[in-house]
Each structure stands twice: as structure tokens, then as C-alpha cells.
Amino acid sequence: MEFDFFYNKKYGITMIDIQLLADQKGIARDYIDATSRHVTISEDSRKKALEILGYPVDDEKALQAILDRELTQEFKDILDPVTVLNDEDFKQFYIRTPESFGEDEEAVLEVEIELEDGRHVSRSLPLEQVEIADFKEVNSTVYDIRRYTLLTQLPYGYHKCKCVVKSKGKSLKSIEMSLIRTQSKVYTPDEIVNGKKVWGVSSQLYSVRSKHNWGIGDFSDLKQLLLGVHKCGGQFVGLNPMHAGYPAIPDESSVSPYSPSSRNWINIVYISVNDVPELVHCDEALALINSQEFQQKLEALRQREYVDYRGVIELKLKALRCIFDHVKVDDKRSARGIKFNEFLERGGQNLINFATYDALQQSLYNKGVDAYSWELFPTEYQEVNSGFVENWRKDHYQDVLFYCYLQFLAYEQLNDAYSSAKKDGMLIGTYRDLAVGVAKQSCDVWADVDNVFRKKGSIGAPPDPLGPLGQNWGLAPMSPTALKACGYKPMIAMYKANMQSCGAIRIDHAAGLYRLWITLIGEPASTGAYVHYDMHDLLGIIALESHRNKCLVIAEDLGTIPVELTKALKKVGAFSYKIFFDEKAADGGYIAPRDYTALAMSALTTHDMPTLVGWWHYYDLELGKKLGIYTDKEAEDLKNARAESKQRILDSMHGLGSISSSFTRNANEAVMNQELATALQIHMCSGSCALFSSQVEDWIGVDKPVNVPGTNLEYPNWRRKLTKDLEDIFVTPNVLDMTSQMTKARNN
């Protein structure tokens, strides 16, 4: 790390060059936007990005103190906090020693590595044999920066490294460095590597209707969905993020799966109460659930057009708390109690902190406190490690344990659904979705013991044609420097958690592996700046966890993706993401799916787009006008452009033989009926992508979207249900015919 300054001749003082400092902290000077235009980021925006990252840019003295402390600490530590080495890297890391040690011919370097499995590897050699790569003067002391080469081929995993430098009776001890050895490519099933092409579905689990759920799709429905899709020939079911939500918050606008409370834990709203093993042993809970009043409420929740999250979570928590209060779930004398205690041990302090947050938030709401965010908690509870929080946890131990139990049930049921699919022979089974971040008011930010989250900023996107003002997502950014300082512990824990109970993971907004657009809270998104992250390190950790969990990686690389990231994702073997409606040639026509890259997942639509019926018949444009998203003129222009797109689609499908020659060639006459919907699925299944993801909505003709980007209260986002019960979908002749043809097309 090196800081640059400039000398002000007028005042005779040395000052920090803020723009050079921004360079050194990974803040971009420019970028290529969605229209391929070169955009220069203003100096003021870069300065604000530094402020978000924790540098007091308007206080020269305080800023200098922080920079001095960082630089001094770096050379005092001798080793970096973390080094990630993949198969293609030189097996080297850097050691910083005072030049005076190098002047002693008898100086010795001792390196000790503790492997992840507990074994130790050590080496001692003359310091002069370690190559000097550079030098640096810090506080009047010159340091040699030496390049140390590993002789041992370390196994893949998370290891610990430390060293001691001895010279003339003096010795220097390093910090303990996290030494992470990873594969150079992510995991891909052999069948896919060998050319097998498969299809599956993407599903918003909450939207699933069934005759037995409690008004929201649950993990029992997921198991049924997985087995139903596999019976039809599909090999995976992609889910919306399963991340933990906010069970205590009564506000229906806080239900977005992409704005979670924690990415390490699971949303308990998906627990199937009927499948909880303890239920059959709890007469009180059975009596409660089977009561006429309770059953009437359940039936009302099932019949609603949109998910009533508050109504669902209240009934589930009431039943589950009844079970918890009457069955000793942590009894170490029972098999279930042993499993629960093992889960508690694996979850450790992270689980305890998360359960404390949910329990504390619920307690505050019960007392009438608007506890929407930890920032609104009483002051003494705003710090996770405060003595007040610890005392509260002790006084409310059973409440905290209850939320631990809920996580145990959610983990168990999600894993059971996945295991059932794999036992049935499904190649991939569940694939999970990893959100780009967590909300500022989240538990992850409150429980941030590594100080990686920056509370002054918000992740979003710069201005583009679809969002001229830019986007502000309300997600708290992480500091690249802080992530390295803690050895990427939060990221490792997150990837570990999200690659369990699934055969694939989709990384939302994969551009964040390279850079994120961050803006000061309260400022327009257009005033933000890109902050770069260490893509090499993050992809290395992803590759390691991918192999450990046998989890295929899909990178959501839509939009404007820097060429550096595109190359890196391809090199590491991550699957790209291809949306049919976005894949256009220079002449405006649609690229044939057979010309897509093989290392990708293709899809017709996504959760942020209208359904096939909605797109084809312009329902989304009509809805946009009602919601104030489009003016009449804008909607009409979009409709005209879409009419042209529809014609080009029909031309392409007829040209490639994806649809019967008897089907009209005039897009103005065509309706999105079963024949056209099936033909579009076949069109995609005949393509070259290894994975094709369909949507259940398009099998049964749903016309309303799941989510309308750019809206919050204007539309019931993330609440729309399917129009058929799950039990009926897989016996519908049209669905069986469509999926049969999809399987045949994939196998050809």
C-alpha cells in the first residue's frame, strides 16, 4: 500500500491528493455505460465514495492519521491478512522485513503453516535466500518486501500461516495470515462437461399454491415441485433467494427476497409446519391448528390472490412457538435433541447473533417500539457486542433459542427437499439465488463484528436508458479493504451457507464480484461511483466452495459487464446468463438460441420481466401507465417497438422450424396461446446452452408479473401467486405435452 501526496508551494505544506487516494482505494475514474459511451466519474463523486469507505476526506488531520495507521500496521504485520492462491497462480506471498535484518547474513526466516486439517508444515531458511521484490520507507525505516515461494503443494482449503524473522538476538513475529488454496475453475457436473443439455424451471417459492400449504409456498411444496419437474424430464428448480427476512416487521413492503436481513440464514416463512417432526408429539399445537378458527384463517390465506405475509407468519409463529414451548427440543437425550444441539454448535456465535436480532426485534415491536431497523433500537441495543445485548440475551434465552430452532427446521426442510430430488435421480436439483447484498437495516449489518459494512452508502446502478436517474437499492456496501483485513470471513461464511442444499447457485448482479456502484445515503444515484473488489480472491473462494459442495455456478451477467469480468468468469468456468429477449443482433433480429454459448443458462423471461402472456399482449405497458412508470407516449413507443420485435421473433421461429408452418406468420394476428408458448419453449430447448430455465407461469398462462422494477408500494411485488394449485399443474395435459417436447428437444 502506498499513499501519494503533493506539495502546496503557496502554503509550504504537504497535502493528501484525494484523487490519487481514491485510485489506491479502488475507486474508478471512468467506465463504459450501457450505451457504450465513455463516462468520467466526477472528482466529487469519487470523494464521496472515499467518505462512504470510511475516510474523513474533509478532515485532513483525521484522514492523515488513518492513512498513517494503515501503512504502519501493514509493515508491522509483516504478512498480509490473506492470500488466495489458485492452481494457476505462482505459489508466492510477500513478507515485509526491516532492511537492517537483511544486512545480517545470519538472519533466519521461519515459516509455519497450519493446514485446515490440523497438520503443520514448517520451513526455516536464511533470510538472504528470500528474493527482494521491492522496498519501502515507512516512518524513517526502510523495509524490504520479499517474495516467498512455497515448496509444498498445499491441499485445497483454508490454512493459517505465520512467520518469525530472527536477526542478532532480535526477532519479529508476524500476524497469522489466512492462506487460501483454491481450484482455478468452479465445479461442473461431469454430465454437463460431457455435453448433456438439460432444462428446469425457475420458481418464486412463495407464489406456489397447493391444497395443504398455509397461504404461501413452503418447503413441502418445493419437494413436490422438484419431483414433479423431474417426472416431466426437468433436472432443476431455481428458487428466489431463500435468505432470511424480517418476521417481526409488519410492513408488507419489506418482503423483497433481494433485500434480506441475512444472507447466511433462511427465511422461516417457508417452513412447512405440517412437516415439523415435533408436531405429532404436541397435543396443544395439534389442537390449536385443528381448531375451527385456525382452519378458517388458513383457508382464507390460501384463497387470497396475493400472499399475505403478515397473516402467514403470525399463524406459523403461533403454531411453532406452541410446539417449542411444549416439547423440549434441545433435550440431549433424544435423537432430535442431539441433531438440534449439533446445529447450534455448527451455527456458533453467528447463529446466536442472528436469533438474538429476530427475538429482540419482536420484543421491541411487542412493546410498541418501531423497531424497523437496528438504528431505531434503544441505544444500548444498537451494538451487537454490548453488555446490554448480552444481558438481554441471557434474560430472554428461550426466545433466542426459539429462533435458533426455527433456523434448524428451515435448514432441515430445505435440505430434505434437495436430498429427495437427488435420490430421485435429478441431476442438479435445487438451484439457489444469491442476492447482491443485504439491507442497511439488516441483522447482517447489526451483527457486523468484522466492520466490513459501510452504513453511509447504498449499492445501486449508474444512469442508463432504462433508468436515467440511476438506481439506489438500499443495500449496504462492503469495504474491499475491510474484507481483506478479516480474511474474507463474511464472504466465506456466506458462500458456504448458500451452496448447501443445492446443486447450483445463481449469483445475482455478478458484476459485484468486480465492482459495485455506491452512493451516499440521501444522494441521487447519479452521484455515485464504482468501487472495485478483488475479483481474483472472490472467484477463488467461490471455486473452492463450489467444489466442496458440488455446486455449479451461474453468474447473472446481464447488462453492461466489464470485459475484465467477462473474461474472468469464462476462465473460471462460471455459467453465463442469456435472456432471449435481450439477445439481439446488430440488425435488430433475434440471435438463434443455437448460436448462444454452451456454458450458459438461457431463459425466456425472469422475475423482473413480464410473463410471456403479459409481454406478448402488452399487459406490462398498460400496467406501467397505470402505475405512472410510462407516459401514454412512452408506452405507445414501446408498444410499436415491441410489435416489431414480435414479428422478428416469429420470423426467426419459422426460419428455424421451431413452430408449425401452419401457425400465422403475422405477429399482429398471433396470440400467446398454448401452441405459441410451447413453440417458444422448444425454440429455447433446441439451443446450445447447457441449461434452459423455463417458468411455471408460462406453462399455465399467468399474465401478472412477479415484480415491477422501480415500484415499491404501487404494485404488490413479490406477492403474486400462481393461478393453479401445484397438485393440478403436473396432471394438466397441456403441461405434460409441453414438457415432453422440451425434454425431447434437449436430448436431440
Q: How many CA atoms lie within 13 A of 662 on its CB side?
A: 1
**Which phi and psi angles does 23 have, rounded to 5°?**
-60, -45
8 A C-beta contact, residue 99 and residue 143: yes
Q: For 16-45, what is each residue's pLDDT tens digit?
A: 899 999 999 999 999 999 888 999 999 999
Separation of alpha carbons 718 and 217, rounded Å: 12
Who contacts 177 (Cβ-Cβ below 8 Å, separation ≥6)? 79, 80, 81, 82, 83, 93, 160, 161, 162, 487
In the structure grid, which three cell numbers stand for residue 300, read together?
A: 382464507
Locus of grid cell 432441515: 412
Q: What is the pLDDT of residues 616-639, one digit of tens each?
A: 999 999 999 999 989 999 999 999
Backbone angles phi, psi at 484, to 5 degrees: -65, -40
Q: Is 380 left (phi over 0), alpha (psi -120 to 50) or beta?
A: alpha
Give ranges for CATH 3.20.20.80 in the chain.
Answer: 190-445+477-515+531-610+688-747
Which residue spans of the chain are classified as CATH 2.60.40? 88-181
In what helix (H) or strand (E) does residue 603 lie, and over which residues does it extend?
A: strand 600-603
pLDDT tens readout for residues 441-456:
999 999 999 999 999 9
Q: Mean pLDDT over residues 125-151, rounded?
A: 94
Confidence of residue 588 (pLDDT cuts 50, 70, 90): confident
DSSP state string for 122-160: EEEEEGGGSEEEEEEEETTEEEEEEEEE--S-PPSEEEE
Question: What pLDDT sits at residue 2?
Answer: 44
Reported as a pLDDT band with limits 50, 70 and 90, residue 466 is low
At residue 98, φ and ψ (nearest 5 deg) are: -60, 140
pLDDT at residue 11 tops 50: no
CA 163 from chain center: how many Å? Answer: 35
What is the model's pLDDT at position 587? 87
328 backbone dihedrals φ, ψ, rounded to 5°:
-75, 90
Residue 465 has what pLDDT?
72
Per residue in 504-549, pLDDT (tens digit) is: 999 999 999 999 999 999 999 999 999 999 999 999 999 999 999 9
Distance CA(204)–CA(256), nearest Å, equals 11
- Domain 190-445+477-515+531-610+688-747 belongs in CATH node 3.20.20.80: yes
pLDDT digits 0-9 by tens, 246-255: 999 977 778 9
Residue 316 reports pLDDT greater than 70? yes
φ, ψ at 202 (rounded to 5°): -105, 130
pLDDT at 5 over 60: no
Per-residue cell: 604: 425466456
Q: Which three cell numbers stand for residue 626?
A: 397505470
Provide the pLDDT for residue 14.
58
Domain 88-181 has CATH 3.30.1150: no
Summary mean pLDDT of the chain: 95
